[in-house]
Amino acid sequence: MIVVAGEALVDVVTEADGTVTETPGGSPLNVAVGLGRLDVPATLCCQLGDDERAGVLVTHVATSGAQLVAAPTTTGRTSTAVATLDAAGAAHYDFDLEWSLPRQELPPCDGVHVGSLGTVLEPGRESVLDLVEQARARGLLVSLDVNVRPAFLPDVEEGWRRTRELAARCPLVKLSDEDALALRPDAGADDTARALLGAGDTVLVLLTRGPHGATAFSASGEVSVEPRPTTVVDTVGAGDSFMAATLAQLHDAGTYAAPESLGTLDGDALRRLIAGAVEVAAITCERRGANPPTRAELPSGWPAG
């Protein structure tokens, strides 16, 4: 079982034509849901309010095959993110978010995944870092999705320092080219990925490039994969689907049972890994909202197919 720690919220999506819809969201929630739909046991550790929106999120996680452990928010409100879509379907966010997660005892599990606002906002950030340290003490695989939100990054230098500090505790780190630009405006995305690789525990860095696919950076080299032609409805949740698909493949391959093997993946294995993740992200982009596919909806032979 993989523990995912971080924010769960409701995406209030405003279309280019002004239409408003509400859907479950939050990067960690999306990753947990993506794992559940890919038949990988997952538990989301988060915060929820005591309101109708919380019930929607609980149902969404449960029906996707994942579990949820939630601490209450102090306000009783469930957090929201207002996503405004442009004509191309790209999302831009404004948040009403509380993150005051108390310290948690890490349950028996195979690994821990953290990322996004849960690793940034105080005071809950300290509880997430504590879960990471509990996982490291047990020799578990820890993964990080940087997932920068510029509204919560007022000091670029401090943001980069904190990112490096946390990334160094995680063997697997994923970030997008947009994350890299936000963290290091004067550096190329590839150079930022290389700067994270090999620091502390990090042995694999995955850099997503939107419509241009993704690149894996490891000691064995750099491997890139481009997606198939895709008709984009919107990009909401695409990066989270990529992350969930990556973790699911590592789970299938037994990497969680032998986390040291993550750093020994050769070029073919890395190409297969990111190709499988890129395909799941592409399917998500072809749908409205953060709606990752189930394993049964993937191409025959996935990830090879």
pLDDT reported for residue 131? 98
pLDDT at 50: 94
Task: Report which of residues 13 and 26 the model is more confident about.
Answer: 26
**The model's pTM:** 0.92
With cut-offs at 50, 70 and 90, classify the pLDDT of residue 11. Answer: confident
Look at residue 91 in the predicted model and tell me its pLDDT.
67
Report pLDDT for 20. Answer: 84
- Structure confidence at residue 78 (pLDDT): 95
Question: Between residues 100 and 152, which one has the greater pLDDT?
Answer: 100
User: How much is the pLDDT for 170?
Assistant: 97
Average pLDDT on 133-138 reads: 97
Superfamily covering domain 2-295: Ribokinase (3.40.1190.20)
What is the distance between the alpha carbons of residues 123 and 108, in angstroms, rounded to a whole number? Answer: 25
Q: Spell out the domain ranges in the chain.
A: 2-295
Q: Which two tokens stand for residue 46?
A: 């988060």
The 10s digit of each residue's pLDDT in 62-118 is 999 999 999 999 999 999 988 777 777 676 777 888 999 999 999 999 999 999 999
Neighbours of 183 (CB within 10 A): 24
Q: Give the pLDDT score at 70.
A: 96
CA dihedral 79, 155, 143, 282 (to 10 degrees): 70
Handedness of CA 30, 35, 36, 42 (dihedral sign): negative
> Looking at residue 98, what is its pLDDT?
92
How do residues 251-286 score in pLDDT, each as one tens digit? 999 999 999 999 999 999 999 999 999 999 999 988
Answer yes or no: is pLDDT of 5 > 80: yes
First to last CA, the chain: 26
pLDDT digits (tens, 9 = 90+) for 178-202: 999 999 999 999 999 999 998 899 9
Q: What is the mean pLDDT of residues 150-173?
A: 89
Least confident of 127-136, 188-197, 268-277, 289-298: 289-298
157 pLDDT band, cuts 50/70/90, is confident
* pLDDT of the residue at 84: 78
Cα–Cα dist 145/42, whole Å: 16
**202-242 pLDDT, tens per residue?**
999 999 999 999 999 999 899 999 999 988 888 788 999 99
Q: What is the pLDDT of residues 46-77, one digit of tens each?
A: 999 999 999 999 999 999 999 999 999 999 99
How far is 6 from 110, CA to CA, in rounded Å? 17
- Give the integer Cα–Cα distance in Å for 290 and 237: 4
Is residue 42 over pLDDT 80? Answer: yes
